[in-house]
Amino acid sequence: MRTVVRSTLIAGMTGTLMVSAAWAGIGISPLPVPSATSEVSAPASAAVRGAGDVDSHAGEAISATVSTAGDQLLVGAAKASMLPRPADMAARFPGARWETDPTECQRMDETVLAKLDKVIADAPDGIVTSGSPWHENPDCIYMGGFGIGPANPVKAFDSELGLWVRSIAMSKNGTPFVMTVIDAEGWLWDYKSKCTDCGAKQISAALAADPELKALGAKPESFILHATHSHSGPDFIGGWGFVPDWYMAQITDSIKATAKQALASMVPATLETGEIEARAFNGERRDTYRAAEEQSLAWLRAVAVPAAGGKKHDAPQVIATVGAYAAHPTTRGTNGGVASSDWVGYFEKRLEDRFGGIGLHFMTGLGNMSASGGTGIGTRLADLLPATGQGTVVTEPVVRVAQTSYRSPITNAPLDALGTPGFFDRKFDPVPAAVTVGENETAPCVSASPQSVELPITVAKIGSQVVFSTGAGEEFSNLTNTIKEKNPGKVTFPLAQVNDALGYMPQSFELNRVGQQGLGFAFGGYVFVNYEDSYAIDRCVGDGALETTLAALAALK
């Protein structure tokens, strides 16, 4: 194994360092104790619950909501700052500190590359206190998505927009649905070394076990966790270094806290929705063929039902607005070492400025889609949404949620080489997998491997008008367009980078099998094949995820 890993990595790493590898992230929900020292910026119309690190909109006590809601749709939302707070975490992590001097943060360079064989041979014994086998400073926060290994330390956080954890919760007559988004490169379903309780899988289980949330009908499938995939955001998956243990715990706490607060603050609400063509703001980037494009912006807005005795001329109180679009948030590059939410942050801020409440953005089929128009597209996309009251009303907003999984073989040798020793901290299972997947039996995609990985897939429906699905990586737009086409007449949100960050997810007809085994790393990933091919765990991963998703949606009545 060592010889295979060494030859695979050393042969491809130099080219990889030049590649803007667009791995991805997840979507789930949040929990704990407010901190009076945390940085919070609430929307103007938000009702802030206490002086804690979580802001919620439209909040009432859980008991009051449960006793008075009847069969009314309930919606709540919350947000918390991601600004590092080592002092607040010191009781749990003695000596917690954030190194903001980039010169004190080790970086991946050719000297480290030359020693990779020794690092691999020593793993996992060589894993440093940050939980990663990379040579890195465990007090540093590294950006994700540029090349491979620790290269871009974070010296500060964007002071204009900040970085946030945001959640929206919806419930009517059954299992609630809580969507959480974090301004980061990615978040994993199940970590191998970094932690035992911070994976999206463990977070959703902990939330579902909370007595207050269980009283509201919460189940593990209620929660999804999405990472915006901003490359100048923190790396929470280990592919580009890592973050300090205390910061991993801080954000885990915030994920739980905002999810719980969103549920706790639910009030009676109405929903309106729509889909807008937005062709000018993205474009496909495959160089070996013309890929399908996904160019529509889906949106959903929750408006609080006016209290009894309210005045008719009072402005509608927006709880939250959700947008979903596909365009890689890489317009700011490494941003001089300042962590940024990229164009997504401008989109969310503009929603909050225009409508009030909390704004959230989720990526759809971004695997082959680049942003077009720079960072300013965030504001321009948000301005496409109609005024409050001008969307299509969701008339029967019963919320239904289900979760399933697809077990994928791992046939990508370079990614297996990164994942097995922990350079990419996803837990792979020593379980063989053999798949035959596709639309029919005429030309299926066939694959097998001695180890595999579980890909979580969540589906949700709101009445007969709104559909959500989730992908565990950077799904390609042909896949997400197909999900939309299979749900005609509905506003469909085929979300990617949710509950996991397992690389690119093309379908088999879009993937070069030679490139999948490392050729996409060479010469920046553009001479022979596209570099996305080298970041797909299996040639059938997109086919399997698509067919599993469509089957789950069909079964959700």
Q: Give residue 533's pLDDT.
A: 78
Helices 477-485 and 541-555: crossing angle, nearest 10°?
Answer: 20
Mean per-residue pLDDT, 358-377 = 97
Mean per-residue pLDDT, 325-343 = 97
- Cβ contacts of residue 415 below 8 Å, gap of 6+? 424, 503, 534, 535, 537
pLDDT band at residue 207 under the 50/70/90 scheme: very high
Cross-strand bridge partners of residue 166: 79, 181
Q: At 357, list the tokens.
A: 């409440």
Q: Give residue 418's pLDDT.
A: 65
Range with lowest mean pLDDT among 107-116, 120-129, 342-351, 456-465: 120-129
Cis peptide before 124 (omega within 30 of 0): yes
Q: Give residue 279's pLDDT.
A: 96
Mean per-residue pLDDT, 266-283 = 97
Closest CA to 15 of 528, 521, 527: 521
Contact 494, 475 (CB under 8 A): yes
Q: Give residue 311's pLDDT.
A: 64
Q: Does position 66 have pLDDT exceeding 50, yes or no?
A: no
Mean per-residue pLDDT, 124-147 = 71
pLDDT band at residue 332 under the 50/70/90 scheme: very high
Q: Does position 89 have pLDDT exceeding 50, yes or no?
A: yes
Mean per-residue pLDDT, 412-439 = 81
Q: Does position 70 have pLDDT exceeding 80, yes or no?
A: no
**Torsions phi, psi for 267 (to 5 deg):** -135, 165
The residue with greater pLDDT, 260 or 18, is 260
Closest CA to 326 of 493, 184, 460, 468: 493
For the full predicted model, state whether its pTM sits above 0.75.
yes
The answer to whether the Cα torsion of 400, 393, 387, 484 is positive or negative is positive
Average pLDDT, the chain: 83
The residue with greater pLDDT, 416 or 145, is 145
Distance CA(340)–CA(362), nearest Å, equals 16
> What percent of the chain has a predicted confidence (pLDDT) above 70?
77
Mean per-residue pLDDT, 168-178 = 95
User: How would you classify the pairing of strands 358-363 and 55-57?
Assistant: unpaired
List of E strands, 21-132: 55-57, 74-81
Mean per-residue pLDDT, 82-110 = 92
pLDDT band at residue 267 under the 50/70/90 scheme: very high
pLDDT band at residue 525 under the 50/70/90 scheme: very low
Q: pLDDT tens, 210-266?
A: 999 999 999 999 999 999 999 999 999 988 888 999 999 999 999 999 999 999 999
Using alpha carbons, list the distances in angstroms from residue 358 to 54, 301, 332, 551: 12, 10, 24, 33
Mean per-residue pLDDT, 301-317 = 81
Range with lowest mean pLDDT among 140-149, 221-230, 453-462: 140-149
Q: Give residue 285's pLDDT.
A: 86
Residue 386 DSSP label: P
**Torsions phi, psi for 553 (to 5 deg):** -65, -40
Mean per-residue pLDDT, 504-527 = 64
Q: What length is written for the chain?
A: 557
Q: At 88, list the tokens.
A: 């607040």
Q: Does position 405 have pLDDT exceeding 90, yes or no?
A: yes
Range with lowest mean pLDDT among 104-108, 309-313, 377-381, 386-390: 309-313
Mean per-residue pLDDT, 368-395 = 97
pLDDT band at residue 419 under the 50/70/90 scheme: low
Q: At 297, list the tokens.
A: 């912006």
Mean per-residue pLDDT, 524-542 = 73
Count of CB atoms situated within 10 Å of the CB of 335? 20
Q: Give residue 443's pLDDT.
A: 86
**Complete DSSP assignment for 248-264:** HHHHHHHHHHHHHHHHH
Closest CA to 322 of 367, 352, 293, 365: 352
Helices 200-209 and 245-264: crossing angle, nearest 10°?
Answer: 40
Mean per-residue pLDDT, 469-491 = 97
Q: How many CA atoms lie within 13 A of 520 on its CB side?
A: 27
Mean per-residue pLDDT, 484-494 = 97
Q: Give residue 132's pLDDT.
A: 63
Q: Give residue 513's pLDDT.
A: 62
